[in-house]
């Protein structure tokens, strides 16, 4: 005789929980596979569940500025027909006035431009400093805001005092952290020793991590989103040097790009779109680029797999990419440090709508007479349409590429511009700093003879 047992509520609940756990496990496995797989093609089902990577959303954010290329007060459209901007630097012999004009060849390596020269030569470069300063208007940065949390990975607490750079505290967990921090501090120190005037006494915390660990704190970071109002942008470590194949110092890469294009003209460049990158840095975003370019006659889009046998064949250095008329750009874990290298080429940079802002992004123009790059949708859905238009109108593409060189390589990404930005940042930060930094601190009961005063931190030269 066959006995049948009725399913009670507990059985149903158990079945539901087991099924739910199985579905969740499969979903997790799918996501892990999609984010770690380096295959150029993924199954459609995997793409559906693939998150936007570490970009945190699928869509871009927008921002506005007051002194960018198109709206710089008293400035024609960046003087794209000339690199000269005339200012009065002050009285000289016989009470005469001396005029100074920005010239790329003579001033690009000038680390000690006066404040007036910086403002005249680089309108719009200091936009994010002004934004951050306005955000803190009426509410000074308190010392407790910096001391209220422990330093996390990639953070350095430092101080400029009496014209010298002091390292107070660090949390650099590996060699990569240390390399990035040292490069950033080197850039800052270079601007410091070349300063034509005494820098203010300031104390700050900077982070060299791609993703800010404290987005609501007044930190100095490499990139921010539009909603990260408390963060202050700094030039990234690559402006000093990046220890990866075929890169090195930024000024050296710029010089090599100029040298290459002295014998390789626009007409000699390959009439295709080039991109090389690691898809796992932003799986959904970068797979969208691969998918949009796959099988197209204009495409030379591919990926690199670090540590594999074909790495050397697939890899292209920043100057190598100057051999193409069109260069694609895609963000990574947050921003992508490759953009500034791509902007050194006389090529058309094609970028999706960006979510992360760097200090020089305010100078990027996607339309109008000053257009210096081409913007596509964040999922690259209109990439083919954009490429077809550029290929049909080579004069338009050439104009955008020329504008990019004049704006970035020959002005806003020069060492002179970087040094000017650092000093503008120090001045802007000092305006909202709510306390006076001290070089010495009291240890013990100094007044009763049981304590002493000790110097805080170490000089940058000693830290090195």
pLDDT average, residue stretch 252-264: 96
What's the number of domains the chain is made of? 2
Domain that holds residue 310: 250-408
Residue-wise pLDDT for 131-188, tens only, equals 999 999 889 999 999 999 999 999 999 999 999 999 999 999 999 999 999 999 999 9
Share of residues in the chain with pLDDT > 90 (%): 67
**CA-based nearest residue to 123, from 460, 347, 443, 411:** 411
In a domain, 178, yes or no: no
In a domain, 163, yes or no: no
The H or E element spanning position 287 is helix 283-293
Domain termination site, one of 388, 408, 428: 408
Residue 79 pLDDT: 47
In a domain, 61, yes or no: no
In a domain, 431, yes or no: no
In a domain, 276, yes or no: yes
Spatial distance between the Cα atoms of 346 and 326, rounded to a whole number of angstroms: 9
In a domain, 81, yes or no: no
Average pLDDT over the chain reads 85
3-class state of residue 232 by DSSP? strand
Q: With 0-12 CB in 10 A as exposed, 13-18 as middle and 19+ as buried, what is 454?
A: exposed
In a domain, 344, yes or no: yes
Residue 41 pLDDT: 52
3-class state of residue 94 by DSSP? helix
- Quote the pTM value: 0.84
Residue-wise pLDDT for 354-363, tens only, equals 999 999 999 9
Query: For residue 361, what is the DSSP state?
Result: G
In a domain, 292, yes or no: yes
Residue 281 pLDDT: 85
Spatial distance between the Cα atoms of 362 and 368, rounded to a whole number of angstroms: 15
> Residue 359 maps to which CATH number?
3.40.50.2000
């Amino acid at each position: 005789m066959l006995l049948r047992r009725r399913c009670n509520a507990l059985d149903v609940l158990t079945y539901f929980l087991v099924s739910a756990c199985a579905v969740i496990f499969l979903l997790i496995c799918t996501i892990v596979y999609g984010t770690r797989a380096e295959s150029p093609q993924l199954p459609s089902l995997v793409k559906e569940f693939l998150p936007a990577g570490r970009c945190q959303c699928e869509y871009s954010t927008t921002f506005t500025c007051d002194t960018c290329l198109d709206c710089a007060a008293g400035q024609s459209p960046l003087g794209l027909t000339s690199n000269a901007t005339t200012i009065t630097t002050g009285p000289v012999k016989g009470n005469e006035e001396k005029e100074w004009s920005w010239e790329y060849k003579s001033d690009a390596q000038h680390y000690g431009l006066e404040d007036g020269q910086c403002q005249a030569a680089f309108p719009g470069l200091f936009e994010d400093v002004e934004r951050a300063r306005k955000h803190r208007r009426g509410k000074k940065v308190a010392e407790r805001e910096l001391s209220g949390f422990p330093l996390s990975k990639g953070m350095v607490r430092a101080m400029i005092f009496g014209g010298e750079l002091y390292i107070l505290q660090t949390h650099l967990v590996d060699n990569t952290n240390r390399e990035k921090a040292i490069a950033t501090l080197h850039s800052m120190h270079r601007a410091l020793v070349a300063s034509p005037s005494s820098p203010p006494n300031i104390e700050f915390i900077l982070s060299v991590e791609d993703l800010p660990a404290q987005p609501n704190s007044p930190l100095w970071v490499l990139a921010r989103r539009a909603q990260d109002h408390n963060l202050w942008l700094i030039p990234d470590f690559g402006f000093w040097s990046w220890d990866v194949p075929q890169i090195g110092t930024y000024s050296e890469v710029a010089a090599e790009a100029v040298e290459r294009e002295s014998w390789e003209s626009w007409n000699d460049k390959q009439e295709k779109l080039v991109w090389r990158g690691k898809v796992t840095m932003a799986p959904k975003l970068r797979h969208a680029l691969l998918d949009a370019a796959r099988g197209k006659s204009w495409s030379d889009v591919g990926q690199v797999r670090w540590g594999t046998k074909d790495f050397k064949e697939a890899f292209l250095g920043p100057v190598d990419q100057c051999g193409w008329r069109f260069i694609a750009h895609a963000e990574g874990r947050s921003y992508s440090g490759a953009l500034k290298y791509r902007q050194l080429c006389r090529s058309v940079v094609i970028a999706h709508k960006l979510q992360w802002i760097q200090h020089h992004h305010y100078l990027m123009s996607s339309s109008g007479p000053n257009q210096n790059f081409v913007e596509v949708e964040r999922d690259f859905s209109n990439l083919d349409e954009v490429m077809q238009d550029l290929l049909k109108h080579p004069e338009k593409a050439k104009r955008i590429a020329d504008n990019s060189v004049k704006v970035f390589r020959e002005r806003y990404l020069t060492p002179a511009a970087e040094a000017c930005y650092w000093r503008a940042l120090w001045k802007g930060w000092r305006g909202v700093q709510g306390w006076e930094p001290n070089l010495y601190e009291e240890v013990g009961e100094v007044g009763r003879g049981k304590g002493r005063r000790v110097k805080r931190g170490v000089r940058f030269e000693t830290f090195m």
